[in-house]
């Protein structure tokens, strides 16, 4: 049986995150996921979004963590360490808010640094800490080939899975995971009352 979870989009200049959450609720959805991107320009920030979703009875299935600086994780130096520590802090916040799953990227843009042992060791650190906290991590299949494969070949953890986003002509033919659970999802657009079609992103939850 399938269910729907709707993304709380928070980057629209004309619709506030609170209005988005209200529209999702009024449209009859029960499940949401929040973009935890550490934005500092939101009056109704991610913390308020999470609390408000819970207040009105919406179920938060996961948070999508930010990826603005994810490419730094593959580069030696202080910036890469800083990004790694920020993800550790994100996991601590998820534990505090009783959110037991996060989505992460492994790269961004079309010319990221080549995957390597430096980044792998940082990702291992993040995965280990997530397991200690009881939080699952699903890595999204971004458009760049090789990163998911590299991570799954080198990290064997039942706490880790692939999150499949349907990119249409994207080269991955299927979800890859060497583990016991796979978080299967497909981004779809759904027209919810009070929000323009392009403002709502949802995933199908497959049991």
Percent of the chain scoring above 90 in pLDDT:
57
With vertex at residue 70, the alpha carbon angle to CA 186 and CA 123, rounded to the nearest 5 degrees, is 90
DSSP one-letter string for 164-192:
----SS-S--S---SSS--B---EEE---
Q: What is the reported pLDDT for 3?
A: 63
Condensed to tens digits (0 to 9), the pLDDT of residues 75-122 reads 999 999 999 999 999 999 999 999 999 999 999 999 999 999 999 999
Where are the alpha helices (H) located in the chain, listed in sequence order?
17-26, 46-55, 78-96, 117-133, 147-154
Q: What is the rounded average pLDDT of the residues 40-65?
A: 93
**Phi, psi angles (nearest 5°) of residue 82:** -65, -45
Q: What is the reported pLDDT for 165?
A: 63
Task: Give the chain's count of helices (H) and strands (E).
Answer: 5, 8
Q: What is the rounded average pLDDT of the residues 132-137?
A: 95
Q: What is the reported pLDDT for 83?
A: 98
Q: What pTM did the predictor assign? A: 0.83
Smallest Cα–Cα separation from 11: which of 203, 206, 199, 186? 199
Structural contact between residues 130 and 89, judged by C-beta atoms closer than 8 angstroms: no
Condensed to tens digits (0 to 9), the pLDDT of residues 142-191 reads 778 899 889 989 998 888 888 766 544 444 333 334 344 444 444 433 33
How far from chain centre, in Å, is Cα 128?
18
């Amino acid at each position: 049986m399938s269910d729907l979870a709707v993304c709380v989009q928070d980057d629209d200049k004309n619709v506030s995150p609170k209005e988005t959450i209200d529209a999702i609720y009024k449209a009859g959805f029960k499940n949401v996921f929040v973009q935890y991107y550490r934005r500092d320009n939101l009056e109704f920030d991610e913390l308020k979004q999470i609390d408000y979703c819970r207040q009105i009875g919406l179920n938060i299935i996961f948070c999508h963590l930010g990826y603005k600086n994810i490419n730094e994780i593959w580069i030696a130096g202080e910036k890469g360490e800083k990004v790694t520590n920020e993800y550790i802090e994100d996991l601590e916040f998820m534990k505090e808010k009783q959110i037991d799953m996060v989505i992460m990227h492994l790269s961004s843009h079309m010319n990221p640094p080549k995957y390597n042992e430096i980044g792998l060791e940082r990702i291992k650190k993040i995965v280990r800490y997530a397991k200690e906290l009881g939080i699952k991590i699903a890595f999204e299949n971004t458009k760049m080939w090789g990163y998911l494969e590299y991570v799954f070949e080198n990290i064997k953890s039942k706490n880790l899975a692939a999150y499949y986003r349907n990119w249409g002509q994207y080269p991955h033919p299927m979800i890859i995971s060497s583990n016991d659970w796979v978080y299967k999802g497909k981004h779809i657009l759904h027209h919810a009352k009070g929000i323009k079609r392009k403002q709502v992103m949802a995933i199908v939850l497959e049991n």
